[in-house]
């Protein structure tokens, strides 16, 4: 019963995490109708840095005494975070919220493939097949050469590539480096990048509505981070992880409510394929981990 309770709490935290990140996206997309990209990025990042610094100070996680190797990895991860943020937000300005969210659902499969290619991780034929089918789903979503295809579909995929860089780099960090310190470093990097980019744009006046949206976006990102860190410490991650795909449901709902957007049938089909393959991959990975814990070294799943 306790484990079921932990799993239930973990699912709630995962759903809240995905909702928080998606509500941030919706706030930024609304902002982009009246505010330049770099100005919005810079102002949101300042608020995010303040919130993260306050939390890191409260939890006594602020430290510069980290291994030199980890500082290099943090720098690489920050580059990944900056690239992902820029290309994602640029695509978000010009694409329906649900469409770009649908493309991002390939991330778990893409990170798994990157782990095989760059970190030498082992996966079985079933998970490899799931990755291939998942990428076929992505082709249905973007449909190269179709009427709905644009350069911003490519921007979204570039954002995915930068997220892979970010996540693969994070896997190599030592345990003595606090996650909050990594998040603070990334947030500061994005702030500097956006600040430099904002120098060459004509700023607009920040009215009350824009200020509220910026503050909400920063709070949602902060909340998403807190929920996503907390969920890793509660319950069975193999049971909880598939609920990350609720972000697509949130995106469809918010896209319809705030922007009047609807996914077309082929995009829905592609999204369903990607999500199904992602859940299958989570299941196979969970089985492999469970098997390795309960027996001698076993074959990969």
How confident is the model over 261-293, as pLDDT tens digits? 988 999 999 999 999 999 998 888 777 777 776
User: Is 7 a residue whose pLDDT tops 80?
Assistant: no
Alpha helices in 95-207 (DSSP H): 97-104, 107-119, 125-142, 151-171, 179-198
pLDDT digits 0-9 by tens, 157-188: 999 999 999 888 888 888 888 888 999 999 99
pTM to 2 decimal places: 0.88
Domain boundaries, the chain: 1-35+207-250, 38-206+251-294
Gap between the Cα atoms of 192 and 114, Å rounded: 28
Tens of pLDDT, residues 145-157: 666 678 999 999 9
Q: How many degrees, rounded to 5, is the angle at CA 209 between CA 208 and CA 212?
A: 85
pLDDT tens-digit series, residues 25-67: 999 999 999 999 999 999 999 999 999 999 999 999 888 889 9
Do 106 and 160 touch, CB atoms closer than 8 A? yes
| Helix pair 97-104, 265-294: axis angle to 10 deg | 30
**Confidence grade of residue 75 (pLDDT, cut at 50, 70, 90):** very high
**Residue 12 pLDDT > 80:** yes
Residues ≥6 apart with Cβ < 8 Å to 232: none
The pLDDT score that the predictor gives to residue 69 is 93
Query: Rounded to an integer, what distance in angstroms lies between the CA atom of residue 94 and that of residue 268?
Result: 19
The pair of three-digit structure tokens given for residue 202, joined into one six-digit string: 């004509």
Q: How far apart are CA 41 and CA 53, in angstroms?
A: 18
């Amino acid at each position: 019963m306790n484990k079921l309770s932990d799993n239930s709490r973990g699912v709630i935290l995962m759903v809240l995490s995905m909702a928080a990140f998606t509500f941030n996206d919706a706030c930024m997309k609304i902002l982009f109708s009246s505010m330049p990209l770099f100005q919005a990025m810079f102002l949101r990042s300042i608020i995010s840095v303040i919130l993260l610094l306050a939390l890191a100070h409260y939890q006594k996680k602020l430290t510069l005494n980290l291994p030199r190797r980890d500082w290099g990895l943090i720098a690489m991860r920050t580059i990944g975070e900056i690239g992902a943020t820029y290309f994602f937000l640029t695509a978000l300005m010009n694409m329906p919220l649900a469409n770009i969210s649908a493309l991002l659902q390939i991330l778990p499969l893409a990170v798994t493939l990157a782990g095989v290619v760059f970190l030498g991780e082992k996966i079985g034929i079933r998970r490899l097949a799931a990755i291939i089918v998942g990428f076929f789903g992505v082709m249905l979503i973007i449909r190269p050469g179709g009427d709905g295809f644009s350069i911003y579909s490519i921007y979204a995929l570039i954002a995915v590539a930068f997220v892979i860089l970010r996540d693969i780099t994070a896997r190599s960090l030592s345990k003595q480096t606090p996650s909050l310190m990594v998040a603070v470093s990334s947030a500061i990097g994005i702030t500097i990048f956006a600040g430099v980019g904002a120098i060459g744009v004509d700023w607009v006046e920040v009215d009350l509505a824009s200020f509220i949206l910026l503050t909400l976006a920063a709070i949602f990102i902060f909340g998403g981070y807190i929920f996503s860190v907390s969920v890793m410490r509660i319950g069975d991650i193999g049971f909880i992880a598939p609920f990350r795909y609720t972000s697509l449901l949130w995106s469809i709902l918010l896209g319809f409510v705030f922007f009047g957007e609807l996914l077309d049938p082929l995009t829905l089909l592609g999204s369903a394929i990607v999500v199904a393959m992602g859940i299958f991959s989570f299941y196979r990975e969970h089985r492999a981990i469970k098997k390795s814990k309960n027996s001698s070294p076993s074959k990969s799943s």
